[in-house]
Structure 1
């Protein structure tokens, strides 16, 4: 059977394309009028705290900012609004649909001191997929004219579980220009940060354009693991927010600390500038062993030896080897 020359040429072109290295992430300043930035991190690491104060400081610097909570917990805007929960797009959309009404901007978007904010929301516990809820939320945003809105910055708060298609949406579909990761000096948060870098690199190889602009270290205790991770991954540290009791206490009381002239105003002012100016970079994700290597053996248990289990271990008693019922055919 002969293969058509056109098919041979097509196969050759595909192989050549697969071998080609993707272009590096853009290293110059972002030129698009609206910067859309996705912020990722492990649950509980302080993304919402960081974003509430960052968005507030950006607004005080004269920028028009939209903050969108994309975490199913719907807690991104709580600190911004003093602990009050705003209705989510998913719940409003469901209610309006039952009533035969359309969703309006004022139903889901609220503002405080120049910051515009909304929550996508998610399904009730055990009743749906959080990632699918994210996709539905963005579909609703598009119907509301998302691509025509005029903001300097749109900040998206995403859970760092990028193995889920919904949470990886901004990276997979080039919905943002750059990604920022929030982590701390602990293995789990840096594991998530590394996964985000891996997702960015994966989609770069598929032709994507999103890059990682940097790492924000939250609850920094000075031990240095997060700093070493950033250096190994080839991304800058945009800010290090200290593990300070004043920050912890005010955050727990839903107080904004990113205010010009305040004790922590300078820190968040510098972060706001860094977030806007940092170019998207192509990261270098770490292997599991390299990630563990950032920590001491005492912290990660690297001195543990893997001991194979036996069938006797599994049965809890001595077991007899039984002949297999599998039919094995001799070679003809």
Structure 2
């Protein structure tokens, strides 16, 4: 039987641990990296509001990069599992989580060919997620990356790994690349509307938060999708201190082709130069530390008649809630007159 440690020794160990933790907490975080990315593989996380066009942007971006001779891996991290749909002409890609569950029941291991597929030089996979009401989407993300690590994720020889994340979910699993320094930089996709810029601002806040905790991830810039020329997204990017990497116009040709699951960034096509520029900017843009906006400042990017800034918050009363007059009962508290 092991002897119990002396109380004095336990106290000294506790004091030493406390001192070490205090010293670590007092250390200022390292400055955000502003030079070119030097790691052999650039891991880039792309965030944006659901439906803003992340999957469209990433499918065309990854395809364009591959045609330039880059080795690209596209990983869908959205529970909808639709990141790769456009890349594969509308076909659904078997998800890592679903495949893992089936293989586990059969007593088999998951192989790369079960979950990773390719088209014209682009490699792609979907993490997937639980069915509605049957689990946590963020936990599914964590489980998916744990499986990727078992498959040798950190040993794969890609030039770029692009991660498609849903930005309007605050669950910790969706903040994994930022929280754990799994990527070198973040790109936000937005448009000239309040909701998408609200999400982009939240992502900038998350980056700022984890920077204060010692993280190293920065924001490389913003892609403006469905740009109608009104300028709110550009004003937002300037206000938070991040560059615009590309502005994809609200064009009927783009809308129609993407609805038909067609790649619009093919070399030689009408929109190829736009994605050539985007690919170059994504590759070279350094990660910077953004300055997220307060909610009122975010509203200030829009016209008052568009966002209702003239609305006054009027407190409700018990009469409003119950449909009857409020009954004020006399207090039983005894109040003594001052002497």
Tell me the TM-score normalized by structure 1.
0.93
Change (3 A) 1:91 1:324: farther
In structure 2, the residue matched to 1:221 is 228
Structure number with greater Rg is 2
Gaps of 5+ in 1: 327-332
230, 254, 263: which one pairs with 1:247? 254
Q: CA deviation at 1:39?
A: 0.2
In structure 1, the residue matched to 2:328 is 321
CA distance in 1: counterparts of 2:332 and 2:267, whole angstroms: 76
CA distance in 1: counterparts of 2:106 and 2:265, whole angstroms: 40
- 1:104-150: CA deviation from partner (whole Å, max 9, x where unpaired): 10000000000000000000111111000000101111111111110
In structure 1, the residue matched to 2:176 is 169
Gaps of 5+ in 2: 1-10, 334-339
Change (3 A) 1:183 1:321: same
17, 21, 29: which one pairs with 1:22? 29
Preserved contact between residue 220 and residue 241 of structure 1 (Cα < 8 Å): yes
In the alignment of these two chains, the number of paired residues is 323
Q: CA deviation at 1:299?
A: 1.3
54, 71, 78: which one pairs with 2:61? 54
Preserved contact between residue 35 and residue 154 of structure 1 (Cα < 8 Å): yes
Larger mean Cα displacement after TM superposition, 94-103 or 311-320: 311-320
Q: CA deviation at 1:24?
A: 2.3
CA distance in 2: counterparts of 1:90 and 1:204, whole angstroms: 30
In structure 1, the residue matched to 2:167 is 160
Preserved contact between residue 161 and residue 167 of structure 1 (Cα < 8 Å): no
1:127-166 equivalences under 5 Å are: 127-161=134-168, 163-166=170-173
In structure 2, the residue matched to 1:107 is 114
In structure 2, the residue matched to 1:191 is 198
Change (3 A) 1:8 1:129: closer
In structure 1, the residue matched to 2:3 is none
CA distance in 2: counterparts of 1:96 and 1:301, whole angstroms: 53
Q: Structure 1 residue runs of 4+, over 3 Å off?
A: 4-21, 322-326
Give the CA RMSD over aligned residues: 2.1
1:60-139 equivalences under 5 Å are: 60-139=67-146
Q: CA deviation at 1:23?
A: 2.7
Matched, 1:237 2:244: yes
CA distance in 1: counterparts of 2:62 and 2:252, whole angstroms: 22
Q: CA deviation at 1:14?
A: 6.3
1:251-266 equivalences under 5 Å are: 251-266=258-273
Q: CA deviation at 1:260?
A: 1.1
Q: CA deviation at 1:13?
A: 7.8
Tell me the TM-score normalized by structure 2.
0.91
In structure 2, the residue matched to 1:286 is 293
Change (3 A) 1:141 1:5: closer
CA distance in 1: counterparts of 2:258 and 2:205, whole angstroms: 31
Q: CA deviation at 1:266?
A: 0.1
Preserved contact between residue 162 and residue 196 of structure 1 (Cα < 8 Å): no
